[in-house]
Each structure stands twice: as structure tokens, then as C-alpha cells.
Amino acid sequence: MAKRFLGLNQVVASNLRKLRKELGISQEELAEKCGLHRTYIGAIERSERNITLQTLERLAGSLGVSPLELLKDNSDV
């Protein structure tokens, strides 16, 4: 079966949500850790925002992963 293609916004959104939930933290707690607003985190997780590389680094650092972990497409459909 062919692998489904996701845009980078969708990949980052999916990985961000998955990693955040694995850590057991809320969007608000993640926002506080990386100095962003809670609604901005929600918009990223819904693929509504294009983020900068600087924001990608901040998110990754707050989650304890490399930025590449947020960019990896782990979907297999």
C-alpha cells in the first residue's frame, strides 16, 4: 500500500501532539515551557499555522527532542 503524503505542517502537528501527550503535558504547559501562547500551540497542532525554524527549535527543545523529530513523517497508511 502506498504511503500517504502529509504536508510539513501536518507532520509537525501530528508529532507535536503525540510527543506532548506522551509527556503528559497540556498545551498550556507546553506553551509556558517554550514561551509561546496556548492558543498558538493549539493552532500549530491543528495545522493552522506556519511556524518558523526558531519556533520549531523552541518546541523541540521544550519536548526534549531534536527538531528533526518534529519533521519526521511517521505516518504509514
Report pLDDT for 76: 56
CATH (domain of 50) = 1.10.260.40
Q: Pick from 67, 6, 76, 7: which is nearest to 34 by CA? A: 67
Q: Pick from 59, 10, 3, 4: which is nearest to 31 by CA? A: 59
Q: Pick from 58, 16, 53, 56: which is nearest to 34 by CA? A: 58
Query: Considering its fold, how many domains does the chain have in total?
Result: 1
By residue range, what is the domain housing residue 48? 22-65
Are the C-beta atoms of residues 57 and 67 closer than 8 Å to each other?
A: yes
Please check whether residue 36 lies inside any domain of the structure: yes
The per-residue pLDDT for range 34-55, each reduced to its tens digit, is 999 999 999 999 999 999 999 9
Please check whether residue 45 lies inside any domain of the structure: yes
Separation of alpha carbons 28 and 66, rounded Å: 21
Q: How far is CA 15 from the centre of its chain?
A: 5
Mean pLDDT of the chain: 92
